[in-house]
Amino acid sequence: MECYTFCFVKDIFGYKSSRCRSVLFVIGSILTCGFLLLLFYWRPEWDVWSKCIQCTLQEADIVLLRTTDEFKIWTKKKVMWVQLSFPSSTARADQQHSLFSDETSLLHRIVIKPDLKVRFIEIQKIRYIWDLYEKQFIRAERLIFGPNVIDIRISPIWKLLCKEVLNPFYTFQIFSVCLWLSEDYTEYSVALIIMSFISIAFSVYDVRQQSIKLYRLVETHNNMMVTICRKGGGYEKVPSSELVPGDVFIVTGNKQVLSCDAILIHGGCIVNESMLTGESIPVTKTPLPSTVSCSSWKSSTEDYKRHILFCGTQVIQSKATSEGEVRAVVYRTGFTTTKGELVRSILYPKPIDFKLYQDAFRFLLCLAAIATIGMIYSVCILVLNGIPPGKVVRKALDVITIAVSPALPASVTIGIIYAQERLKKKGIYCINPQRINMCGQLNLICFDKTGTLTEDGLDLWGLVSTKGKGLQNIFKFNNGDTLPWGPLFGAMVSCHSLILLDNTLQGDPLDLKMFEITRWELKENTMLKLQNEETHSFIVKPGPKANKFHERFQLNCSVTQSKALKIAHAGISLSEQEASVASPFTSKIPNIDCVPQLIKEGRAALVSSFCIFKYMALYSMIQYVGVLCLYWQANTFGNYQFLFEDLAIATVIGITMSFNHAYPQLDPNQPPGQLISPPLLLSVILNVILSLVLHVFGFIMVQQQPWYTPTDIYRACNPTNLTSDGKTTSNKTTDTIAIALRNEDSYKSYENTTVYLLSLFNCISTAIVFSKGKPYRKPIYTNYIFMIVLLAQFGTCLYFLFGKHETLYNALDLVCTPRSWRVYLLVMVLVHFTVIMAIEEILIENRCLKVFLTKCCKVKSTQRYKKMQRIITKEPNWPPEDDTDYTTSCTMDEAALEAYSNMNYEHDKDSKTASNGFANTTSKQIEEGSSKKDNI
C-alpha cells in the first residue's frame, strides 16, 4: 500500500525579504488601524508581494506556493536551515570524508560546505530539501528523518478562538456591531454578539474535539518499545521514536502494533489491517524474495504489498523459519508512513469543490455591488437634504450592513446543522458537516464489496461456468448436491485467502463460504522456500465427506478502502475501526440503509440552504429598498423598527425554516445545485423588483391621500382638521407642535409607517413562498414550529396595522392613519403575496414548463453519463453481439464528451514515477532575478 502526499502539484516562487518594504508595511498597518495586517492574513500572497522582492529559489528566504488545481490556493513558507553535527573533531573529519567523497551521492548534493548546513522547507509535515545541483526542492523523507512520531498538537483554545474570530465573516460582524453601537442600536447588536459567541464556541469545541480524537488515534504509536538488531549480532530495545529507515527489528507477534512501515525480510506473519481496510479479516504477509533488486522490487507484476507491514496494523501471529526470528526492515517513518499519510489527509483536507459555496461568494459580491450603488445614492440625497457629514457617513455605511446582512453567510449552514442532528438520531455520524449538502447532489453510489450490499451471512446459491463467449448451465447448491470433480472444484478449494488462526478458519466471508461448500479441510501451516523465495503455504485435503485433492496455494493481502473514502465526495464507513476517521460519515447501521437516508437528508439540507439563502437575501433587499425610499426624505427606520424586523421576524424565520424533515421518498430528479442558475436568479430578481414596486407604490400613494401632510403627523386621525371635501386645513398651532416633535424624533412620518408595515408583511409572505416542501422536504404544514411562528408574526403585524395602541406606536415610531388606508395596505400586501406565489409555483418551480423550454431550445445535458447515453442511443450496433468487435464498432459522435480524470489518482500515479522521493519537475532554469517555477 503505497501512499504519497495527497496535495496537488504546486508552483513555487522565490522571494527575498526587504527591510524598506517591511517598514512601509508597518506604517500602513498603523494608518489603517490594523486592517492591512488583517487583509494580508487573509491573503498571504499579498503579504509576500508587498514585503518581499522576487528572486531565484537559491537566494530566497521566503517561498510562495500555489496549487495547480482549480482552487489556486497560495501558501507562504519560510526557508529553514538544519546544522549537521559530529561528536568530535577527529570523528568529524573521518565522517566528513566518508560522507562527501562520493560526488554522486544525494548527501553530497544537499549539504552546504564547509558549514555543513542543509536548506529546507516544510509543507504539511513533510520536509523538502534544497538540491544544490538541480536547483530545486526535493522530498526528504528518507534523508532527514527526524523522530519516528506522528506529532499531533492540540491547539490551545485561545488560538482557536483567534483564528475563528479573524474569519472574514466575523470581521464583518464586528464592523457592523461597532457601527450599530455608534448609532445606539444596542439591542440587536447585543443579540448578534450573543449569537456569534455561541456559534464560535460550538465551532471551537468541534475543532478541538476532532483534534483530541486524532491525537488519541496516534498516541500509542509514539510510545512503544521495539527490539532492533545490531550489526554485531546483538539486540537492543529502543523507543519506537528512534527508528529510522534501514533499521532491522524483530516482529514478535502477540498483537504487536507496528510503529512504522516495514518490509518483511525473514519469516512470515498474519496481521490485522482493520485500521486501513475497516475489516478485521486477517492478512498473511510473506518475506520479500532475496533475488529482487532494490530498484525494481515495487515495479514487479506481483503484488508487492504482501511484503509490507503497514504502520498501525496489528501483528496477530508471527511464523519463524529455519533462518531465525521474523525480521523486518524499517521502510518509512513518521508522517511518511501509510498511517501518517492518512493523518495528514485529515489534518490538511482538500477544499470542498462544491458549486454552492462558490456561488454564495459571487452572490455576496453582487449584493456588495448593489450596496455600493445604494451608498452613493444615500450620500447624494442626504447631503442635498443638509444632513451633517458625520451622520451622512454613518447612514451610508448603514446601507452596506442592510444590503449585505451579517447573518447571510451563516444562513447556508443552518440547514446542515439540523440535518446533522437528524442523521445522528438515525445512527449516522458526520465529522465534516459541509459534506451533507454534497450528499444532496450525489448521482453515483459505489459499493465496495459483498457484505456491504447484503447481510453479514452469505449463502452459495449456485455456480456458472463459461465456455467460449457463452455461459453454461447453472449448478445449484441449495439441494445439498456436491460439485463434481473438475477444474472449478480445484479452484474453489485452493484459490482463496483463508488461514488457520487458533485452529479456526478465518478470512473473507465469500472465500469462507466457497471453501465450506467443498467439504474439504485446511490443515497445515508452513513456510516453504520455492526458487529462492519464501512462500506462506497451506495444505488442503478432503474432509470426511469430500473427494481427494491436494493443492498448495499462496495468499494475497486485502486492499485498502481508506483512500477511496477520502477521495469520494461523501464516503460512508460502516465500521467503527480507525479507517472510519478518514471517512466523512460513519454509520452504526451495518448495511446500506444508511445510503438513502444520507441522500434524503442531504437533499433536504441542500434545499433548506437554498431557501434560507434566498430568504435572507430577499429580506436584506426588502429592508434595503425601504430604507432608500425613506432616505429620499432624509428619514429612515427607527432602532426599534429595525430590532423587531431583524430579530422577531427575519432571525426567527431563518432559524425555524429548516425544521422541515426530509421527504420519506427519494425523487428521481436531483435538487438544483447552483445558486447562480437561471431559475434562482429569475426568482430573486423578480421578487426584488416586485418588492421595489410595492414599497415605491406605497410611498407615492400615501402622499396622494387627502389627509396627508408632511408637517402634521397627527392630523390624519384628527377629523377636526379635515374640511367637508376631505382636504386638510391649516392649523399653525398643530403644525408648530408637529414640527417640534419631528425635530425631537425624525423617524415618525406617514411614509415611514406605510413603508415599514409593507416591509414587515413582505418579509412574512416571502418566507411562505420560499419555504419549499415536496419532493425533497416534508410540506410546510408539517413544520409545526415554523407555522406557529408565521401565524404569531402575521397576527402581530395585523395588530400593528389595526391596533392603534398609543404606547406601542410611540415605541415603534408609528403614526395613526385612517382605517381605509390600513385596509388599502392589507389589500396591497395580499395582491403582492398572490403575485409572488404564482410566479414561484407557475414559472420558477414548474417542471413541465422547464421540460418544455428545454425541448424547445434543444438544450442538452452536459453531464457525462447523459452524453454517453445519447451516444449509445444513436449507435446501431449496441449492445454488442457475441461475434461483434465492439472495441472498434462504436462511433463517438459527441465532441463535447471529455474523459473523466480523477486528479487524486493522477497525482498518485505521477508521484509513483518519481524516484527516490524527488519532486516531479520539468522546469528549466530561467534568468537570474526571476522566479523559478518548479513542481513539488
pLDDT in tens, 26-43: 999 999 888 899 999 999
Residues whose CB is less than 8 angstroms from the CB of residue 928 and which lie 6 or more positions away in sequence, other chains included: 56
The predicted structure's pLDDT at residue 797: 94
Q: How far apart are CA 4 and CA 881, in angstroms?
A: 43
- pLDDT category at 734 given cuts 50, 70, 90 is very low
Residues whose CB is less than 8 angstroms from the CB of residue 615 and which lie 6 or more positions away in sequence, other chains included: 411, 653, 654, 657, 766, 767, 770
Is 3.40.50.2300 the CATH number for 355-439+595-715+747-850?
A: no
Catalytic residue ranges: 448
Residue 562 in this model has a pLDDT that exceeds 70: no
- pLDDT category at 245 given cuts 50, 70, 90 is confident
Domain boundaries, the chain: 224-289+303-347, 355-439+595-715+747-850, 448-455+557-591
pLDDT in tens, 824-838: 999 999 999 999 999
The predicted structure's pLDDT at residue 933: 33
- pLDDT category at 531 given cuts 50, 70, 90 is very low
The predicted structure's pLDDT at residue 876: 73
The predicted structure's pLDDT at residue 147: 82
Q: Which of 98-102, 155-159, 340-344, 929-933 has the highest mean predicted lDDT (pLDDT)?
A: 155-159
Closest to 355 measured CA to CA, from 733, 14, 672, 694? 672
Residue 582 in this model has a pLDDT that exceeds 90: no
Q: How far apart are CA 154 and CA 652, in angstroms?
A: 36
Residue 150 in this model has a pLDDT that exceeds 80: yes
The predicted structure's pLDDT at residue 768: 94
The predicted structure's pLDDT at residue 558: 39
The predicted structure's pLDDT at residue 198: 82
Q: What is the mean pLDDT of residues 913-925?
A: 35
Q: Which of 230-234, 739-743, 903-907 has the highest mean predicted lDDT (pLDDT)?
A: 230-234
Arithmetic mean of pLDDT over the chain = 77
The predicted structure's pLDDT at residue 92: 53
Residue 694 in this model has a pLDDT that exceeds 90: yes
pLDDT in tens, 467-483: 777 777 888 877 666 77
Q: What percent of the chain has pLDDT over 70?
A: 76
Return the higher-pLDDT residue of 231 and 816. 816
Adjacent-strand bridge partners of 913: none
Q: What percent of the chain has pLDDT over 90?
A: 20
Residue 85 in this model has a pLDDT that exceeds 80: no
- pLDDT category at 821 given cuts 50, 70, 90 is very high
Adjacent-strand bridge partners of 112: 117
Query: Concatenated DSSP letters for 849-879?
Result: HHHHHHHHTT-----HHHHHHHHHHH-TT-S
The predicted structure's pLDDT at residue 385: 83
Return the higher-pLDDT residue of 546 and 401. 401
Which of helix, strand or coil describes residue 888?
Answer: helix
Closest to 118 measured CA to CA, from 93, 141, 143, 142? 143
The predicted structure's pLDDT at residue 794: 95
Fill in the DSSP letter of residue 129.
Answer: E
The predicted structure's pLDDT at residue 555: 36
The predicted structure's pLDDT at residue 777: 92
Cβ(657)–Cβ(767) below 8 Å: yes
**344-358, 594-608, 833-847, 919-933: the lowest-pLDDT one:** 919-933
Residues whose CB is less than 8 angstroms from the CB of residue 44 and which lie 6 or more positions away in sequence, other chains included: 64, 74, 75, 76
Residue 1 in this model has a pLDDT that exceeds 50: no
Residue 283 in this model has a pLDDT that exceeds 90: no
Q: Taking the chain, what is the end-to-end CA distance rounded to the nearest angstrom?
A: 22
For the record, the C-alpha cell of 96 comes out as: 566528513
- pLDDT category at 145 given cuts 50, 70, 90 is low
The predicted structure's pLDDT at residue 700: 93
pLDDT in tens, 615-630: 988 999 999 999 999 9
Query: Hey, what CATH topology would domain 224-289+303-347 get?
Result: 2.70.150
The predicted structure's pLDDT at residue 169: 82
Query: Concatenated DSSP letters for 633-644?
Result: TT----HHHHHI
- Torsions phi, psi for 79 (to 5 deg): -75, 130
The predicted structure's pLDDT at residue 339: 86
Measure Cα distances from 806 to 241, 810, 811, 813 in Å.
Answer: 77, 6, 9, 10
The predicted structure's pLDDT at residue 449: 55
Residues whose CB is less than 8 angstroms from the CB of residue 30 and which lie 6 or more positions away in sequence, other chains included: none
Cβ(208)–Cβ(216) below 8 Å: no
The predicted structure's pLDDT at residue 736: 39
The answer to pTM > 0.85 is: no
Q: What is the mean pLDDT of residues 70-95?
A: 72
Which of helix, strand or coil describes residue 133?
Answer: coil
Q: How far apart are CA 476 and CA 463, in angstroms?
A: 7
Q: What is the mean pLDDT of residues 146-163?
A: 86
Residue 567 in this model has a pLDDT that exceeds 90: no
Residues whose CB is less than 8 angstroms from the CB of residue 703 and which lie 6 or more positions away in sequence, other chains included: 750, 751
Q: What is the mean pLDDT of residues 135-141?
A: 76
The predicted structure's pLDDT at residue 928: 35
